Amino acid sequence: MTMTEATGSGTGRTEGTTRSSANTAGAVTSAVTGTVPYTVPQAPVTIDPAIWPSIATVPTSLKARVAGRAADAIFKAAVRSLPLAVRYPDGTVLGKASLGQAPGGTAYPVMTINRPEAFAARLGDGGLIGLGESYMAGDWDADDLTAVMEVFAARVGTLVPEPLQKLRGLYLPRQPRKERNTEKNTRSNISRHYDLSNELFASFLDRTMTYSSALFPESGDALRTVAWDGLAAAQQAKIDRLLDKAGVKEGTRVLEIGTGWGELALRAAARGATVYSVTLSSEQQELARQRVADSGYADAVTIELKDYRAVEGEYDAVVSVEMIEAVGFEYWATYFQTIERVLAPGGKVAIQAITIAHDRLMATRTSYTWVHKYIFPGGVIPSVRAIEDITEKQTGLRVRERLAMGEHYAQTLRLWEERFMGRAEEVGAMGFDAIFQRMWLFYLCYSRAGFETGYLDVQQIVLDHASSKGAAA
């Protein structure tokens, strides 16, 4: 599928091999974590405006110029107290690094501003959208992008002075109406991410083709060094725990909302369950059906291209992995009401959901961000409180159990990041250019920083009917 930024996807897919994606800045070295084991593609000098209109041209409107000067002042004031080294072409260094080494004799992560004027203009014009776009354009680089983003993620609520935060709703864009997750729009929102290319996702996912947090057996310091060869088993462990909590066994009628590439359906079928799985991604449906057929479970698993709201029937178990984030906060009640409607008496629900603190949800739920523009249009991450409030007040479902596992997502993302960047030439040969690769790296590191700092979490949540006796086992 070929798309451009103008559609809101910003895929950077070009015909044939894109050799510019193989141009790199060399191995990126981090004084904090050692050498990052990949090279980062440089943004080309000339960027195709037909594919990347917001990246090819620096904003020059009066708004951008005025706001750029203000954003530059706010940014410099903010980073002066941060554990960073922000380096400018004239030799200026801002951040705590200007005062010496970090505690313990280590060095601070380095953010290098290559084009200060362009960086300020994009930041002023688009706020955090501009921060991501300026990285995509090569206006700034980092020795360890995740480490730099962690510094910002840990202080996201205080970087901008409070009086200016109150004005954000007047200045920053809101999500376009065409990206609200109505039944008419949702298919388009989903396809813009998941229909990019099965080959693209296969370039960084493990053999299970599972695109959600794994659950590793390791914990503590050992978790931070888990290796690629343990990822597939950790993904299956995550799935198995959800199936266990939903009570999936031989004869269980399972509804899966959000098929992915079929691994959960396969593991449920292997237990003797019958699975009805719905997705809005034609690419995922095609590959998932093929995997099901190849595994010999075609009689036990049905995968349809259907909105969750259109599901009929009755099911003993409902499972859904990191799909609620794509529902949109206006439709969370509908999502849970649908689950309640199809859940058989005595049935159980097990979902996996990325979560955010409730105060951050309330502050940002209508914001239009870089992630919306380039990665997940229409998405909103829920809070645990929002899930509990909606299910208690608007459904007959009740949350019975939760497992928080955000530190596992951080390491899942690290492994994806290393795998993706280690295959830059292969991804380029698929037609995904250097700007796309910088975009995808920013997305992976931005997300990982959220989990590393606790700004984001991921939960396995078990629910059942309020009338059910006792909590989930």
Instruction: Say what the pTM is.
Output: 0.88
Q: Report the pLDDT averaged over residues 9-26.
A: 41
pLDDT the model gives residue 243: 98
pLDDT the model gives residue 136: 97
User: 13: pLDDT confidence band, cut at 50, 70 and 90?
Assistant: low
Query: Which two tokens mark 429?
Result: 């040969």
pLDDT the model gives residue 63: 81
Measured CA to CA, the distance from residue 262 to residue 239 in angstroms comes to: 11
User: 7: pLDDT confidence band, cut at 50, 70 and 90?
Assistant: very low
Distances (CA, A) of 176 to 118, 288, 372: 26, 31, 10
The pLDDT tens digits of the residues spanning 87-145 come to 999 999 999 987 766 776 678 999 999 999 999 999 999 888 999 999 999 999 999 99
Q: Which of 275-279, 317-321, 324-328, 348-352 is the least confident region?
A: 324-328
The pLDDT tens digits of the residues spanning 261-274 come to 999 999 999 999 99
Q: When comparing pLDDT for 14 and 79, which is higher?
A: 79
| Number of residues assigned to the chain | 473
Query: Which two tokens mark 255?
Result: 């509804």
Measured CA to CA, the distance from residue 245 to residue 349 in angstroms comes to: 8
Residues 214 and 31 sit within 8 Å (Cβ to Cβ): no
pLDDT the model gives residue 367: 83
Measured CA to CA, the distance from residue 436 to residue 132 in angstroms comes to: 12
pLDDT the model gives residue 106: 78
Q: Report the pLDDT averaged over residues 221-234.
A: 97
User: 179: pLDDT confidence band, cut at 50, 70 and 90?
Assistant: low
pLDDT the model gives residue 29: 39
Single-letter amino acid, residue 251? G
Is residue 253 pLDDT above 50, yes or no? yes
Residues 214 and 237 sit within 8 Å (Cβ to Cβ): yes
| φ and ψ of 41, to 5 deg | -65, 140
The SS3 of residue 115 is coil
Of residues 386, 393, 412, 409, the one with CA closest to residue 459: 409
